[in-house]
Each structure stands twice: as structure tokens, then as C-alpha cells.
Structure 1
Amino acid sequence: MASNNLKEMSFLDHLEELRWLLIRSTVAILILACAAFFISDFIFEQILFAPKNPNFVTYRFFCEVTQYFGIESVEICDVKMPFIIQNTNMGGQVSFLIWTCITVGFVAGFPFILWEFWKFISPALYEKEKKYAKAFILFSSLLFFLGVLFGYYIITPLSVFFFGSFSASTEIVNEFNLESYTSMIKTSSIACGLLFELPIFIYFLTKLGLVTPSFLRKYRKYALILVLILSAIITPPDIISQVIVAIPIMILYEISILISALVMRKKTEPN
């Protein structure tokens, strides 16, 4: 039977718990952001601006993959980045430094945020479900970090490669704004990190009765179409790149169906 703590707490008590959850999470992010400040040179040179280097590991990987399958891809094997990154705002670099450190703090502190979230929802769980706290934190964190790495090493370089080398006219020179460039990297990485949490989201949605395995199976083909369209937009115009991007997302979707089915089976089992 679920804990009675949830019933004993008033709506205002829940709001107070949520407020402290946000405060503790914010403090943790700021502490980690301060730590990131001391290694900011490494973050900028080896992480943020690395995808604009023609020798970036992703470009070499895609070149080897296309060559392995006998596909000639001169563009991906001879990467050129004919663009510069410029700052046009007076306080642009200060803002860039601060928000980059905060972003690093959020990514590094994600497991702690998950732990705070678990403590917030745990009163509504059964006693046997509370035992899965460590597994929840570990699995959710692993999915998030895998998503961030996928976004950074796959989505980001493919986007930088496409937009950086694209030219509608020889009269136009690419000079990207600092905020635009870094925003794309941060958004791609964090969005993929959250996207990889799909199995976790499906688990809770199924627990709440908002999603069923049959619903997910019914709309599988539509999900596949959306993923392929997304892959075609963010990758170079070759089928290998699009497939490499689409496969992990569809695997997550299939895992979500299995998790939803498992939750439904548990619900129908006699106590």
C-alpha cells in the first residue's frame, strides 16, 4: 500500500517541498558552475569549439563509415569550415562565460536533481517501489549522459558541418554569432539528453494510466516517420548519416514499449 505521507500533506506542504527541491537543485547547479569556471578554458577549446575543427572525431568516423560501405562522400571526408564565430554584444563574452558554466553545472548536477525529484515523488509510491531509488537514479542518469554525448558527438557536428559549409551564394560569407553557435550546441546536447529519458517518461505515464503499450505500438509508424524527417533535417544528405541518427531514437521507443508493457503486467498481477 502507498505511503500515507502523501495524504497527510496539504497542498501548501507539497508546494513547500517543491520550493525546497528547486532551491537545493539551483544551489547544486551554481556550485558546479563555479567549479566549471576554473576549467573554462578546457571547456571552450576542447568541447564547445571542437566541432568546428575539421579533424573532429565525428567527421573522421563518418568518413570511415561511408568508405566502409563503398559510398563516396567527399564532403564528409574533406571537411571545410569556411566560417568564423564573432561576438557582437558588449557583454556578450561575459554572458557566454556565465551561461556556459551554468549549463555545465546543470549537466554535471543532473543525478542530484533526479535524486531530489525522487524524494519529492516517493511519498506517492509503494514501499517496494521506493527500494528502486538507486536503480532509478543510475538508469536515468546513464540515459541522460548517453543522450548528451549523442547530441554532442552526432547531432552537433552534423549540424555544424551542414550549416557551416552551406552557401546559397558565393557573395555571402558565414560569420556566425557567438550566441547562435553555442546555443545550438547546448540545445542539441541537452535536448538529446532529455529525449533519451523517454523510457523513464513512459514508465511514469503508464503508471498514471495515460499511456498503454497498445497506444505506443499503434503510433509506432508515425514515430518512425517523424524520426526520419528529423534525421534528414539535421544530417548531411546521405542515407548512412540519417540511419545512424534514427536508430538510437527508435531503439529507445521500442524499449519504452517494453517498459510500458511491464508496468501494465505488474498492474494486473494479483497482490
Structure 2
Amino acid sequence: MTNLHRYYIEFKSRSLLLIMTWVSTILVSYLYKEILLFLMIEPSLNYSNQNMLYFIFTNVTEIFTVYLKIIIFVGNHILIIFTLYHITLFLSLGLYKSELKNITFLIKTSFLVFILSVNFFNNILLPLSWSFFLSFQSFSFLKSIDLYFESKLNEYLIFYITSYYLCVTYCQIFVLLISFCKYLKNNLNQIKQYRKIIYFSFLVMSTVLTPPDIISQIVLSLNLIFIYELLVYNLIFQLVIKKLKH
């Protein structure tokens, strides 16, 4: 048996495991679909204590469609996690220890940032978004006129998933910053050389990820630059402390 055939067998086996994992996750998620729906609605229901928020549906198949989107949403998350795990195992035997260590660090950091971003989205960002957008339903000058909000369940799910992916994507940018600073920790000259390129990359990412308005692009770019400079100064501080000890 040639090495190429062995790679093919291993790739086929791991792909089959991933497919089985995705299918089993979909089946289990379907059994607990009501709980999953409640977990996605709960951050908004906490806000509804003051605003009587509720959800409606206007199509007989809408609730089933919502459940289907939720279980696929959960299944894709599990699939991505296990795919990264199998890719790491598949490549580990052909990597140096330093390379494997860097990849492991990158995956662990990305997973930690992912957990923090999910908690940030559900506990802070989503309630704040409700507070901001629903603040426009009342007129400050015309007290006799009010706008009443009735959210469709399907539209809420679209809003939740879209906002969720944007939040997670923004937070994963910090993983790249941490990894880049870790890569340049022994060479401060490269930090100076790449500073303009990094700033331009922040601007490009902000343009791609934010809505098409200049304010959002500037705000996100400044935040990324500020966090990057904090990481750089922290790196310089560590290098200075290390030199003083020696």
C-alpha cells in the first residue's frame, strides 16, 4: 500500500466521521429544538420584562422552517470544531514540534475568543441592540403617537444569526493580532516595517465587514489599531523585562 493510498484512506475515514458527526448532531438538535429556540430567544425575553416583547408567525410552515435553520446552525458549529480537530490530527505527524505548538496555540486562542464572543453577544450586544432599535418606537414630541412592534419569529432568527456571525467574525480578528504579535515577539524592527501594511489591512477588513458607511469603518479601524498598539506595547514591555533579568 503506497503512502498516497494511505492518505486517501485516512482522508476518507475522517470525512466519513465528520459526516456522521454532523448528521448525529442534526438528529440530537431536532430532539431538543424547543430548548435551542428558547436559548436563542432568552436574551431578548430578558429585555421584554419592560417592553412586552413577543413573536408571531404568519405562515403555517414558518415554525418548522425556524427549527430547521436552528438545527443546521448548531450542526455547522459542531462540524467546524471537529473539522479543525481532524485537520490538526491529520497534519500533526508531518509538522515540527514548533509548528504544531503554534497551530495548537492558534486553535486554543481562537476557541477561547469564540466562547467569549458568544457570551458577549448573548449577554451584552443583543440586549443593547434591542434597547437601541426599540427606542425609536416612541415619539418624544408627539406623546399621543406610538409605534408598536411585533416581531416575526423567522425575521428574528435571521437577525440573530446575522448579528451572531458578525460579532464572532469581528472577535476572531483579535486572534490574528495576537498570533501576529507572537510571531514578531523577537524582532521589533519587523513591527515597524509592517505597521503601515497592518493599518491598511485593518482598513480593508473594516470596509468588508462593516455596513457601507464611513463612520462604522472608522470606528472599527480605530478599535483594531488601538488593540494592536496595546499588544505591541505589551510585547515591548515583556522584552524589556526579559533583558533586564538577563
Q: Structure 1 pair 98/254, CA: closer, same or farther in 2 (3 Å)?
A: farther
Q: Which residue of 2 aligns with 1:40?
A: 33
Kept in 2, the 8 Å contact 1:25–1:112? The answer is: yes
SS at match of 2:54: strand
Kept in 1, the 8 Å contact 2:22–2:79? The answer is: yes
> Is it true that 1:196 corresponds to 2:167 in the alignment?
no
Q: In 2, Cα distance between the equivalents of 1:29 and 1:256? A: 37
Q: Which residue of 1 aligns with 2:41?
A: 49
Q: In 2, Cα distance between the equivalents of 1:175 and 1:215? A: 54
Kept in 2, the 8 Å contact 1:198–1:252? The answer is: no
Q: Which runs of 5+ in 2 are unaligned?
A: 140-144, 184-189, 214-218, 237-246
Identical-residue share of aligned pairs (%): 21
Q: Which residue of 1 aligns with 2:71?
A: 101
SS at match of 1:34: helix
Kept in 2, the 8 Å contact 1:51–1:157? The answer is: yes
SS at match of 2:131: helix
- What's the TM-score once normalised by structure 1's chain length? 0.55
> Is it true that 1:30 corresponds to 2:5 in the alignment?
no
Q: Which amino acid aligns with 1:111?
A: I
Q: Structure 1 pair 223/172, CA: closer, same or farther in 2 (3 Å)?
A: same
Matches for 1:1-271 after TM superposition, within 5 Å: 24-45=17-38, 47-54=39-46, 80-81=50-51, 83-119=53-89, 125-132=95-102, 134-167=104-137, 170=145, 172-201=147-176, 203=179, 213-214=191-192, 217-218=195-196, 253=228
Kept in 2, the 8 Å contact 1:217–1:257? The answer is: no
Q: Which runs of 5+ in 1 are unaligned?
A: 1-7, 57-78, 234-241, 262-271
Looking at secondary structure, tell me which structure has more helix per residue.
2
Q: Can you list the C-alpha shifts for 1:47-77, whole angstroms capped at 9, x where unaligned?
A: 2221222458xxxxxxxxxxxxxxxxxxxxx
Q: Which amino acid aligns with 1:31?
A: S
Kept in 2, the 8 Å contact 1:83–1:164? The answer is: no
Q: In 1, Cα distance between the equivalents of 2:23 and 2:231? A: 33
SS at match of 1:196: helix
* Bigger-Rg structure (1/2): 2
Q: In 2, Cα distance between the equivalents of 1:26 and 1:215? A: 45
Q: In 1, Cα distance between the equivalents of 2:194 and 2:146? A: 49
Deviation at 1:100, TM superposition (A): 0.6
Q: In 1, Cα distance between the equivalents of 2:234 and 2:70? A: 35
Q: Can you list the C-alpha shifts for 1:90-139, whole angstroms capped at 9, x where unaligned?
A: 32111111111221233345431321343566588545312455444332
